Chain A
Amino acid sequence: MSVRELDLKQEPPCTSGLGNYLWSDPPDEKKWADCVHCGMCLESCPTYEQTGQEQHSPRGRVHLIKSVAEGKLQVNEQFMDPVFQCLDCRACTTACPADVDVGGLIEEARGQIRQAMPLTGVKGAISKFFLHDLFPHQNRLNTLGGLLKFYQKSGMQKAVRKTKLINIMPQHLADMESIMPEVKEPVKKKYKDVKVIKAKGETKQEVAMLTGCVMDVMFSDINESTINVLTRNGNDVVIPQNQTCCGALHVHAGDRDMGRKLAKQNMEAFKDFDKVIVNAAGCGCMMKEYAELFKEDPEMHAKAEEFSEKVEDISKFLHETGYEKPKAEMKTRITYHDACHLAHGQGIRQQPRDILLDIPGVDMVHMPNSDRCCGSAGIYNITNPEMANAVLESKMENVPDDVEMISMGNPGCMLQMAMGVQKYGRNQKIVHTVQLLDWAYQKEDRVKEGKE
């Protein structure tokens, strides 16, 4: 964004806003009309748990967002703090007796804040770099991935750690560096020239797959596992090359224009498919909510609603269309962490657990408060490290001691939980649900071939 654009943005485009919300797409009155201030959401909120303060609670945030519309407050720095401290974990929506869409309100309020007060200076540069110059551009992400791979393989990682160069990084970045997964080849690149990855055996249906931005660079092996599991269960898999980042990180950060742009591109990229399979809870939830971005554009709104119907999390898709139960024993004790955007965002709780329990030899240990946020929340752990760490600490207290693996369905959570394991001296392996299923299939094949 050039300086000139910035200046333009500070002037509200019209005065058709709501109260002190001066820009288009203001928070939706209907969403707070459902809130009667009962307080049932309080204990579900990780930031309220940490602070005990109303303005950092769902009910308090809704009250403040409403107060701006009523003209009692301005969109300013002080208002920004509670709105941006929210993890957008949606636990409050689960707790709410009246189904108030707090997450939606928060995202809309952030949109107003970002337009009223565009980020400047270092923060602005960092945010622009990640949200505009990096995530929407798969080739740049791949280059970054390549650099990270070089960093890991060339010995530079060892050198940085050994020379204590790492000590000059801010603590939360150093923590992240220490758990960085080994970077492999992105599947979108790998299958660039493959039109359809054919099902093993008879084809039941064809599905398209979102490879994701971070997922494909940091966790391409999970994408690989997803393809394996889909093809093994009779699905032809297509990876449309013109797909892009889902836009969740942008919408969470208040950059709704960029969110809309990415949404449009994805709707176009996936228009010829009946099913869009997603293995990242955050992306799936965002794509199911694209219509929220087009409230002021009825035509796109309708299109987005239609599109969202096609989006399905991998665990729910497998659960509904059926999957082969693996026959090889995995012999492992695991626990399951509910990613917020799976459990609270999409109501998917039982399906991944059922899949895990269908793997022979998997002993599942209950994690208390398993649907409590881990503090990852997109890039929240980079923007609000202190709160993210406090939330992570309380999460780790609930991870049972005697398990070997923690399974979940979201890459952000995986990085954050890996950091938790490292930081609190635990030794669990972090896995995606679909990976464990894939490994069981692979083991079964090896046994069949007499290799095990």
Chain B
Amino acid sequence: MRTKDRVKSQDQHILNLAEIVGGSRSILYQKEDLVAYDCDGFTIHKHLPRAVVFPKNTQEVSEIVTYCSENNLPFLARGAGTGLSGGAIPLNGEIIISMVRMKKLISVDLENRRAVVEPGFVNLKLTNSISDKGYYYAPDPSSQYCCTIGGNVAENAGGAHCLKYGVTTNHILGLEVVMPNGKIVEIGKDGIPDAPGYDLLGLITGSEGTLGIVTKITVRVLKNPEGKQTVLAYFDRVEDGSQAVSDIISAGIVPAALEMMDKTAIEGVEAAAFPVGHPKDIEAVLLIEVDGIAAGIEEQIDQILEVCRKRNVREVRAAGSEEERARWWANRKTGFGAMGAISPDYLVQDGVIPRSKLPEVLSRINQISSESGLRIANIFHAGDGNLHPLVLFDARIPGESEKALEAGSQCLKVCADVGGTITGEHGVGIEKREEMRFVFTEEEIAAQTDIREVFNPHNLLNAGKLFPSPSRCAEIKKEMKAQAIS
């Protein structure tokens, strides 16, 4: 805290922005501070922002945005910066609007099962604040210890338990948004679901910070399930593990979570801070959680154990205590960060595939791994087919970052080829812009950028994200359209 410091800068814009947010404590503009903001959880692309501002309320956000828009300054919003696709990286030297100081829990209305939070409020803190009353907030990305709900809305974040309860968009009842021209609008007022007209909540959620900046969020909260049990199963063959996944779903069970890790992923989590003692020589571990009315749980667990045994499981057991269950989940949820223990850098991909294609996809990913010479670990939300190949590399070795990007891209191509898609929950950001072409035609992409133009006509807000740079053909079409209008 440098209290006495005044904002000393040659840049008049920085002085003016400092004025809006109230001085030196709420703005960063010196290189040594800005370097800390040159990337988010996606570390391959780095770029310095022009400044970082820390607004305290919606009004300040609106004033900052108005200022940027009037002065033609690119800008973007950032939460905790844990995003994995580069959505908060200031590619164009943006002014970063950090939302972390807007971190209040504004209200909780358990009778109507909703809560209102500011965007910088940390995901897990919501559950922690209402758990003693028997409620929780369902979307649980692995980064929930530190990621913000505002960021979750931008990325439409998922998580291990989204198989049964849905992703962020299924839990958003209302938003206050500062539009790219600075205007404050409310969508889904009072948290009444299913308002008539276009589903603007659905459009904003998952728009990766390209349509507006969310400043207040009304979310749905759920009653804690009466009972909960978790099963751990070790398989010698990936085929058996993935077949067990399909069998569980076909048996009519909807687990709250159904997770899988492969051999390399197991090596990582076991070498890191929360090991649980998984055997080193198995090909797949499944973590299966069921919850709901207490009476039905035991029966479902028995069914799951039965299915696993039929599929040649080496060892399968239910958690003996809440403590054991918590340890299994800590091991799984810190899985990405754990890769640091076996590799200096990693790049996580986020493909979605039909469950039945898993053995085929994994063997093709193995092939990509051996061709590229880079190890690839797989962590998989198996229940909903959301696959996370983690490409392990060392950025200090010249050319390895590029190789990792290429290998990641090939993994996504495989996912798209088997009838899946290129992202389940991490967003497109910078990372998967080009891969959008695997799943959309030029026309389909143009239709989406047309929507962006309605909200963000000058493309000052988070430009260069989500969509590939327009190909020649699309550019020409746009020029023609512009000429026609003029």
Which A residues fall within an 8 A CB radius of B? 33-43, 50-55, 57, 60, 63-64, 67, 72-73, 76, 78-79, 81-82, 85, 95-100, 386-387
Contact across chains for A36 and B30 when beta carbons are under 8 A apart: no
On whether A99 and B273 interact (CB within 8 A), knowing A36-B43, A36-B336, A55-B28, the answer reads yes
Interface-centre pick from A38, A40, A51, A82 (highest chain B CB count, 10 A): A38
Question: Which residues of B in the span 30-84 have a Cβ within 8 Å of any Cβ on A?
Answer: 30-33, 35-37, 39-41, 43, 52, 54, 80-82
For A39, give its contact among B2, B81, B274 (CB under 8 Å): B81
User: Contacts A64-B32, A386-B1; is A40 near B143 (CB within 8 Å)?
Assistant: yes
The smallest beta-carbon distance between B54 and chain A, in angstroms, is 6
What's the least CB distance linking A49 to chain B, in Å? 10
Among A34, A40, A76, A386, contact of B32 (Cβ-Cβ < 8 Å): A76
Q: Does B345 contact A (CB under 8 A)?
A: yes
Q: Is the interface of B mostly helix, strand, loop or mixed?
A: loop
- Min CB–CB distance A7 → chain B (angstroms): 26
B345 touches A51 (CB 8 A): no
Judging by beta carbons under 8 Å apart, are B37 and A78 in contact? no
Question: Is B147's CB within 8 Å of the partner chain A?
Answer: yes
Q: Distance in Å from the Cβ of B60 to the closest Cβ of chain A? A: 14
A-B contact count (CB 8 A): 116
Contact between A64 and B122, CB atoms less than 8 A apart: no
A57 to B340, CA, bound (A): 18
Establish whether residues B147 and A60, one from each chain, have CB atoms under 8 Å apart when the complex forms: no
A55-B33, A79-B32 are known contacts. Are A96 and B41 too (CB-CB below 8 A)? Answer: no
**How many whole Å from A64's CB to the nearest CB in chain B?**
6
Question: Complex: how many Å from CA A33 to CA B344?
Answer: 5
Q: How far is the CB of A347 from chain B (nearest CB, A)?
A: 11
Contact status B32-A98, CB under 8 Å: no
Partner of B334, one of A40, A53, A64: A40
Whether the Cβ atoms of A96 and B32 lie closer than 8 Å is: no
* Alpha-carbon distance between A53 and B341 when the two chains are bound, in angstroms: 26
- Assess whether B441 is interfacial by the CB under 8 Å rule: no
Chain B nearest CB from A160 CB (Å) reads 28
Q: A33-B344, A55-B28, A73-B31 are in contact. Are A43 and B337 (CB under 8 A)?
A: no
Contacting residues, chain A, for B2 (C-beta < 8 A): 81
3 tightest A-B contacts by CB? A98-B340, A97-B337, A97-B334
Asked if B339 is at the interface (CB within 8 A of a chain A CB), the reply is: yes
Distance in angstroms from B278 CB to nearest chain A CB is 15
Inter-chain contact B274/A38, CB cutoff 8 Å: no
**Contact between chains at B35 and A98 (CB < 8 Å):** no
With beta carbons under 8 angstroms apart, the residue of B101, B273, B336, B339 that contacts A96 is B273
Interface string of B308-344 (1 = CB under 8 A from A): 0000000000000000000000000011111111011
Interface centre among B2, B334, B337 (most CB of A within 10 A): B337
In the complex, what residue of chain B is closest to A33 when comparing beta carbons? Answer: B344
Give the Cβ gap from B265 to chain A, nearest Cβ, in Å.
Answer: 13
Q: What B residues does A51 contact at CB under 8 A?
A: 1
Q: List, in ascending order, chain B residues with CB within 8 A of A82's CB.
A: 32-33, 36
Instruction: Check A34–B100 contact: CB distance below 8 A.
Output: no
Q: List 5 A-B contacts (CB under 8 A).
A: A36-B340, A53-B33, A85-B1, A98-B338, A99-B272
Q: Given the complex of chains A and B, what is the CA–CA distance between A42 and B274 in angstroms? A: 18
B341/A43 in contact, CB under 8 A: no
Task: Give the nearest-CB partner of A384 in chain B.
Answer: B1
Enumerate B145-200 residues with CB–CB distance to A below 8 Å.
Answer: 145-147
Partner of B341, one of A41, A63, A79, A99: A99
Q: Which residues of A contact B30 (CB under 8 A)?
A: 78
Q: Is B3 an interface residue (CB 8 A)?
A: yes
Q: Mark B88-109, 1 if CB is under 8 A from A, else 0.
A: 0000000000101101000000
**CA–CA, A78 to B30, complex, Å?**
8
Q: Does B389 contact A (CB under 8 A)?
A: no
| Cβ 8 A contact of B337, one of A53, A63, A96 | A96
- List chain B residues, Cβ under 8 A from A54: 36-37, 81
- Contact, CB under 8 Å: A53 / B28: yes
Give Cα A64 to B31, complex, Å.
Answer: 10
Which chain A residues border B336 with CB–CB below 8 Å? 36, 38, 97
Bound CA span A81–B273, Å: 29
A79: chain B residues at CB < 8 Å are 32
Q: Which residues of A contact B81 (CB under 8 A)?
A: 39, 54
- The residue in chain A whose Cβ has the minimal distance to the Cβ of B122 is A43
Whole-angstrom CA separation of A35 from B36 in the bound complex: 14
**A-chain residues with CB within 8 Å of residue B143 when the two chains form the complex:** 38-40
Chain B residues with Cβ under 8 A from A64's Cβ? Answer: 32, 35-36
Q: Are A36 and B273 in contact (CB under 8 A)?
A: no
Q: Quick check: A42 and B41 within 8 Å, CB to CB?
A: no
B254-311 residues at the A interface, CB under 8 angstroms:
272-274
The answer to the question of B380 belonging to the interface, with a C-beta cut-off of 8 Å to chain A, is no
Residue in contact with A63 in the complex, picked from B1, B35, B103, CB distance below 8 Å: B35
- Min Cβ gap B383→A in Å is 23
Choose one: B35, B39, B82, B145; the contact of A73 (CB below 8 Å): B35
**Are B340 and A97 in contact, CB atoms less than 8 angstroms apart?**
yes
B120 within 8 A of A: yes
Residue of B nearest to A72 (CB): B35
The docked-state distance in angstroms from the alpha carbon of A50 to that of B336 is 27
CB neighbours (8 Å) of A73 from chain B are 31-32, 35
Known contacts being A60-B36, A63-B36, is A34 close to B146, with CB within 8 Å?
no
Check: B346 CB closer than 8 A to any chain A CB.
yes
Please tell me if the beta carbons of A97 and B41 are within 8 angstroms of each other in the complex.
no
B28 closest partner in A (C-beta)? A53
Q: How far is the CA of A181 from the CA of B45 in the complex (A)?
A: 54
Contact of A40 with B35 in the complex, beta carbons under 8 Å: no
Contacts of A50 on B, CB cut-off 8 Å?
1
Question: Roughly how many angstroms separate A43 CA and B339 CA in the complex, as a whole number?
Answer: 20
Residues on B with C-beta less than 8 A from A41 are 146
User: Which residue of chain B is the closest to A78 with respect to CB atoms?
Assistant: B32
Given contact pairs A33-B340, A33-B344, A53-B98, a sample of 18 additional A-B residue pairs in the complex whose CB atoms are under 8 Å apart: A34-B341, A36-B336, A37-B43, A38-B41, A39-B82, A40-B143, A42-B82, A51-B1, A53-B52, A55-B33, A82-B33, A95-B145, A96-B337, A97-B336, A97-B338, A97-B341, A99-B272, A386-B1
CB < 8 Å neighbour of A36 from B52, B145, B346: B346
Among residues of A, the one whose C-beta sits closest to the C-beta of B336 is A38
Chain B residues positioned under 8 Å from A40 (CB to CB): 143, 145-146, 334, 337
Against A, the Cβ 8 Å flags (1 = close, 0 = not) of B135-149 are 000000001011100
Residues of A within 8 A of B36 (CB): 53-55, 57, 60, 63-64, 82
Contact of B345 among A36, A43, A76 (CB under 8 A): A36
Please determine whether B145 and A52 come into contact, CB atoms closer than 8 angstroms: no
Given the contacts A53-B28, A386-B3, A78 and B33 also touching, CB distance less than 8 Å = yes
Contacts of A60 in B (CB 8 A): 36
CA distance A236 to B31 in the complex (A): 57
Which residue from B39, B100, B273 sits with its C-beta under 8 Å from A97? B273
Contacts of A100 in B (CB 8 A): 340
Measured CB to CB, the closest approach of chain A to B137, in angstroms, equals 16
**Nearest CB of chain B from residue A299's CB, rounded to whole Å:** 29
Give A33 to B339 CA distance when docked, in angstroms: 11
